[in-house]
Chains A and B, each alone.
Chain A
């Protein structure tokens, strides 16, 4: 195998692989990329047994074949080559030779046959989707995914087709929940919702970020998802299990409704959370007529208070929240104003765009 490729092109392929390959893989070969030179160009494959991507790149192929080498090492090398072009050549005993200008490397590889096979992708289910919309939906849910590995089911986003070509995506870590519903075009022919794992979703986000407007296709087979855009395909195993009944925990309509400036609320939280106790980010939110007061108090540091004018008429109340949870929501919204709905000090707070519940977030209070 031997081919000549633009250094930037190879770098792009290896960047895509970085998120997938395992740093400390139990199987050493999972730290590698598989590079295959065919007649039409070169493909770079990364696979961690759950998520795999195949990236296609134009190259001048002198001799077809395959080689597998450490993804990290190859990326480091390509990042420092002196020339705009790189030549990759397979040597005996699975060594790979990298040449660029006068620079020359000979790096250890493994037998390409040992690289695990990606699941067969069934292209028949693929549906054309709107990249920017999917990107928006990921951004509005991914922050709420649980990091707790013992809550395996919550380590991903629930992807649920709704009526009228709409798709709902829901993420929760058990303390907060984020739901977004958008038209994603196409019929996914799913009987029920599926759970897309965090890692796959993050890779998907990176790939969409490269060029959101590109033609994108998404499809689901039995327990895997397939994503395709020009020059790239990605397949991932879905989380197997029952997503919790999220509708049950979304309050229909909060007792106390108010409207507040997104920027002002975000700033106030930032400055008051500085004095929250034990780095818990706990702040107290007190509501009275047209006034929202945010306070924090740390026995070792002192206390802080900030007042915001809000559009609110109703009874007064105080409730504690993790400021970061609210900040995450504010950062993921687009409107200048935010509609906030509260119950009592034990009830969830709900935030959404004014008059629009298609993106709804629920945050549980803290006991303060």
Chain B
């Protein structure tokens, strides 16, 4: 069955939010970044990109490249709120939303076509509403498979949209450089280059067995992609295997006391997202990345599935005791796994506390919907609020690291150059 998939991506998201909220920054080169020495560029406005400033670039280097750029400290709660508003607009056209990060998502609108018209008109109206209601620019790519939609949205940036009609993916992909394909990093690109494969069309023109002979099992996948074949579906949280939140810290943290507020925030975010998706997790996973970039994960199976962030937090803290706390840690993440749909039978002998917690959660969710995620936070998180770290009890805050990584990939693959040229 032919699908209609839209990849929506906010343009220079953090920087655009800053420019929206501080009119004096409009049209100016803006860098959103953390620590001036240690930090990295989190977002660069389009005005500063011609200077070569890219996301994930060390701040020191960015400052050298664009000394006149205005550096703004990140206000994560503002980004999360903007993201929430954007996702609410997405939800008005389909429940089939796969969030990739705060500022990008796949939407499968196949089932919405009858109701809202063509995919292109849905994308246009979404972008229009985002501009009008949230005040931010977004770009969209439309195709019948996910990876093509993602490539196209990059090509459409900034503030544009583009559609690849069904059946024309192959022609569209052919002239594009090989690194555009998912999974083709600099190393693979080099290997392919030595085989004389520079464009996606070069791959498409080759026989499958020739590719598998030279590239192994990955050759088959690469060939499929070059043909515009990608069976991966849009997976909303509801059907996801796992719902998680993780944060890379501005500086590496040492010791349990420093970590717990972050883990608490992550657990609460996971709880919210689970409740939103109407699912409960049977397994809690804690991921820890040490300062040497090695990472470990610990998991525990719960006696009963839960969507309560406080319970997830207690379990995650239990898992923390199985982590080497003598080492510096740069990232923690909490995930709920083995998800079951929310149609759960309540228990008679469940302690009274969870029942109260359930009521409390539903009230907190309502408050957050009406007054924003900062309206009520738990006491240990309140303390952190002033520093504007992303550790409030919000949801949909998809991994800051994922966003940074995505930016890195884009930079690596040169996609940001396309943006600047357009």
> Are A176's CB and B343's CB within 8 A?
no
> Are A367's CB and B344's CB within 8 A?
yes
* CA A177 to CA B347, docked complex, whole Å: 11
Ranked 3 nearest A-B pairs via Cβ: A364-B346, A249-B348, A367-B344
Given contacts A346-B355, A346-B358, A346-B359, contact A366 B348 (CB under 8 A): no
Distance to closest chain A CB from B84 (angstroms): 24
Number of chain A residues whose Cβ lies closer than 8 Å to a Cβ of chain B: 21
B349 at interface, CB cutoff 8 A: yes
**Knowing that A175-B348, A364-B348, A365-B346 are A-B contacts, what are 18 other residue pairs whose CB atoms are under 8 Å apart, sorted by A's residue number?**
A174-B347, A175-B346, A176-B348, A244-B349, A249-B349, A277-B343, A278-B343, A280-B343, A320-B343, A322-B345, A346-B346, A364-B345, A364-B346, A366-B344, A366-B346, A367-B343, A367-B344, A368-B343
A353 at interface, CB cutoff 8 A: no
Distance to closest chain A CB from B301 (angstroms): 13
Give the nearest-CB partner of A172 in chain B: B348
- For B342, what are the chain A residues with a Cβ–Cβ distance below 8 Å? 367
Interface centre among B341, B345, B346, B349 (most CB of A within 10 A): B345
Number of chain B residues whose Cβ lies closer than 8 Å to a Cβ of chain A: 12
Interface positions, chain B 331-360, Cβ under 8 Å from A, are: 341-349, 355, 358-359
* CA A282 to CA B343, docked complex, whole Å: 8
> Are B343's CB and A174's CB within 8 A?
no
Interface positions, chain B 63-82, Cβ under 8 Å from A, are: none
18 pairs across A/B with beta carbons < 8 Å? A172-B348, A172-B349, A174-B347, A174-B349, A175-B348, A177-B348, A244-B349, A278-B341, A278-B343, A322-B345, A346-B346, A346-B358, A362-B348, A364-B345, A366-B346, A367-B342, A367-B344, A367-B346
A156 at interface, CB cutoff 8 A: no
Interface positions, chain A 156-205, Cβ under 8 Å from B, are: 172, 174-177
> Are B358's CB and A366's CB within 8 A?
no
A342-364 CB mask vs B (1 if < 8 Å, else 0) is: 00001010000000000000101
Give the nearest-CB partner of B280 in chain A: A367
* CA A244 to CA B344, docked complex, whole Å: 22
- For B359, what are the chain A residues with a Cβ–Cβ distance below 8 Å? 346
A217-252 CB mask vs B (1 if < 8 Å, else 0) is: 000000000000000000000000000100001000
Given contacts A346-B358, A346-B359, contact A366 B345 (CB under 8 A): yes
Give the nearest-CB partner of A245 in chain B: B349
- For A244, what are the chain B residues with a Cβ–Cβ distance below 8 Å? 349
- For B344, what are the chain A residues with a Cβ–Cβ distance below 8 Å? 366-367
- For B341, what are the chain A residues with a Cβ–Cβ distance below 8 Å? 278
* CA A55 to CA B285, docked complex, whole Å: 57
Give the nearest-CB partner of B304 in chain A: A174
* CA A138 to CA B285, docked complex, whole Å: 44
Distance to closest chain B CB from A363 (angstroms): 9
- For B348, what are the chain A residues with a Cβ–Cβ distance below 8 Å? 172, 174-177, 249, 348, 362, 364
- For A176, what are the chain B residues with a Cβ–Cβ distance below 8 Å? 348
Distance to closest chain A CB from B366 (angstroms): 15
- For B345, what are the chain A residues with a Cβ–Cβ distance below 8 Å? 175, 322, 364, 366-367
Give the nearest-CB partner of A322 in chain B: B345
Distance to closest chain B CB from A231 (angstroms): 41
- For A346, what are the chain B residues with a Cβ–Cβ distance below 8 Å? 346, 355, 358-359
Give the nearest-CB partner of A280 in chain B: B343
* CA A175 to CA B341, docked complex, whole Å: 18
Give the nearest-CB partner of A276 in chain B: B343
Distance to closest chain B CB from A64 (angstroms): 54
A290-333 CB mask vs B (1 if < 8 Å, else 0) is: 00000000000000000000000000000010100000000000
- For A175, what are the chain B residues with a Cβ–Cβ distance below 8 Å? 345-348
